[in-house]
Amino acid sequence: MEPNRIKDINEAQDLLCLWTQAGVVQEKVCDSDYECAPCSYDIDMRRIAEKNRKRRERGDILKGANSHVVFWKDRLKDLPLSRRPCIHHMKQRIEFRSCTNEYVCGDCEFDQYFHDQHTVHAVVKPVDVLSVQGFKIPQGYYLHRGHAWMKLEEGSEVRVGLDDFSLRLLGPLDRIESPLVGKEVSQGVGGIKINRGEYKAEVLSPVSGVVTAINHKLMEDGRMAGTDPYTEGWVMRIHSNSLRDDIKHLLIGNETGEYIKNEVRSLHNVIEEEAGPLAADGGLLTEDIFGKIPQLKWDKLTKLFLHN
């Protein structure tokens, strides 16, 4: 990795990697549509930059091919304030705008505004959705065992919502409430509140972090989540600094499929216990399972499947 000059922020950036735009490395083209969190190149560069930072703090003299590597944000901070490009400009989403918040996007008012006006309303639909025992599972999404999903977005941002299984089991819901913007949430701790008439419950957060955006529409009508759980039905966005550890406790791909199969078997057993074998013949496992089988107990269902 060779050092490169800091490019003029007004030059066209033909999908160049952020590390190249900041002048840390020679030309490197982004091949992940600026989805940095899962990018192996970004992970390696951050690891090298962190190692170099610690060595500098110890007073070591850095040598070798990667001795010049610093975090791309730190390199841009050397620029005059008027020439520091906002990350959304670097990702070719807006015309030039300078960063005035030291590249701390989590509490940046413009970043919040941008996501409210653009990202929030332009959710990309899953590339592929599988059906497992009649329930939809989107590919590329992570699932918490409490039936909240998490989708990686740019930087350390993730989008969170409720899965098809929980919404069809307990819905249609009147309201879905998330913590307010700026509030901290913890993985495995209740944060999302759901309401159906007199019935209430909490869904555990799949990751830890700070809430950066919420879907206000669900506070007025939670049924939207059941109609489109993985896109328009998202609940909140979270800025997380612990994704690497949090992901270890989540399911994805075949793991999710096997988990849903087991959950469906458990649901059949509960229905048989409460309403008899005929009620669990599969015909009712479509929409509004709780509403169609009066014998089912809300508290038992939420404790068993939401783990709260």
Predicted confidence (pLDDT) per residue in 156-179, tens digit = 789 999 999 999 999 899 999 999
pLDDT at 12: 42
Give residue 15's pLDDT.
84
Q: Which of 34-38, 44-48, 201-205, 208-212 has the lowest mean pLDDT?
A: 34-38
Q: Give the ranges where the chain is alpha helix by DSSP (H).
A: 18-21, 40-57, 72-76, 87-90, 109-117, 164-170, 217-220, 223-227, 243-247, 254-275, 289-292, 298-305
**What's the rounded Cα separation, in Å, for the pair 137 and 45?**
33
Q: With beta carbons less than 8 A apart as the criterion, state whether 176 and 190 touch.
A: no
71: pLDDT strictly greater than 90: yes
Average predicted confidence (pLDDT) for the chain? 86
Report pLDDT for 6: 41
Region 185-201: what's the mean pLDDT? 95
pLDDT computed for residue 33 by the predictor: 78
Assess whether pLDDT exceeds 90 at residue 11.
Answer: no
- For the whole prediction, is pTM greater than 0.75? no
Q: Which residues contact 187 (CB under 8 A, 6 or more apart)?
A: 144, 204, 205, 206, 207, 208, 242, 246, 249
Q: Check pLDDT > 50 for residue 1.
A: no
User: What values do phi and psi take at 131, rounded to 5?
Assistant: -110, 120
pLDDT digits (tens, 9 = 90+) for 257-280: 999 999 999 999 999 888 777 555
Q: What pLDDT score was predicted for residue 246?
A: 94
The stretch 242-254 carries a mean pLDDT of: 92
Question: Tokens for 167?
Answer: 């919404």
Q: Which pLDDT does position 115 carry in this prediction?
A: 66
Least confident of 9-18, 142-151, 159-168: 9-18
Q: Stretch 86-108: mean pLDDT, rounded? A: 86
* CA distance to 24, 44, 75, 294, per residue, from 71 (Å): 8, 11, 6, 57
Q: What's the DSSP call for residue 155? A: T
| Each residue's pLDDT tens digit, 147-160 | 999 998 876 789 99
- For 29: left if phi > 0, alpha if psi spans -120 to 50, otherwise beta; the answer is beta
Q: How confident is the model at residue 200 (pLDDT cuts 50, 70, 90)?
A: very high
DSSP letter (8 states) at residue 62: P
Say how far apart CA 78 and CA 73 lie, in whole Å. 9
pLDDT at 215 over 70: yes
> What's the confidence (pLDDT) of residue 270?
92
pLDDT of residue 118: 58
Domains, the chain: 18-103 (no CATH), 121-308 (2.40.50.100)
What percent of the chain shows pLDDT beyond 90? Answer: 54
